[in-house]
Amino acid sequence: MVDNENKFIFEDGNFLIAFSTSEDGNLAYKYGGEKQVGQNRTKFLKRIGIDSNHLHIIQPTHSNAISVKDRFTSNTETYRQSLVVEGEYDDFKAGVDGFLTFNQEYVGLLTGDCIPLLLWHHISSLHGVIHIGLLGVINKIVNNLQPIFSKYHIEPSEVNYLIGPAIHQESYDLKNSSLWNGIKEEVLSKTPRFEEFIGQ
């Protein structure tokens, strides 16, 4: 069901999906003053009816790891793929760019150009967000879902998936990307077909 007053809020059974817009202001401490960002976050969360005490925010590091909070023990297990290429970001190897949980908690992600992949499963209540950027795609972050679904006996076709707002294809030009120019040779030598994907 879509909220008629705000087309960026969706409900599907017990699951709420909401996206901020420019009207919500800057929500990232990385790009603004702590006081103003804090006020913007509080206002946004109030608008969509979320208690910040039940919100887990992912801090993207362009890793290829997804963490899952176990439904019975609340312990967190992290799934990682073998790296195709390494990134030079802080906490790249130790970071986590996806968080899934069975608990009654919200999962948030602040993205810029990258793609937020949201997923939720009505039967098990598994839900969360995965941050998919260039390095995440190259290093196969989504492949972590296979062992996760297998462990919890979840049929992938029964999971709901939604790609959130991201950079427009016409604006995604890697020719001027220092990241891409730094890893292009290595990526194409290891995964030649990747050039077809990015259209460079």
Mean pLDDT of 184-189: 89
pLDDT tens digits, 103-128: 999 999 998 789 999 999 999 999 99
Answer yes or no: is pLDDT of 1 > 70. Answer: no
**In the chain, % of residues over pLDDT 90:** 52
pLDDT at 200: 53
Question: What are the structural domains, with CATH classification, of the chain?
Answer: 1-50 (no CATH), 55-169 (3.60.140.10)
CA atoms within 13 A on the CB side of 62: 16
Least confident of 19-28, 44-53, 174-183: 174-183
Q: What is the CA radius of gyration of the chain?
A: 18
pLDDT of amino acid 6: 56
- Confirm whether pTM is higher than 0.95: no
pLDDT of residue 17: 93
> Does residue 130 carry a pLDDT above 80?
yes
pLDDT at position 186 over 80: yes
Average pLDDT, the chain: 88
What is the 3 state secondary structure string of 125-137?
CCEEEEEECHHHH
> Can you give the pLDDT at residue 7?
56
Residues 190, 195, 198, 200: is their CA dihedral positive or negative?
positive
Q: What is the mean pLDDT of residues 138-155?
A: 96
Confidence at residue 64, expressed as pLDDT on a 0 to 100 scale = 94
Long-range contacts of 22-25 (CB under 8 A, 24+ apart): none
CB count, 10 Å around CB of 37? 17
Interacting residues of 157 by C-beta distance below 8 A, sequence separation 6+ = none
> Among the listed ranges 17-21, 120-124, 127-131, 159-163, which one has the minimum average pLDDT value?
17-21
Break the chain down into helix, strand, coil percent, rounded to 5.
Answer: 35, 25, 45
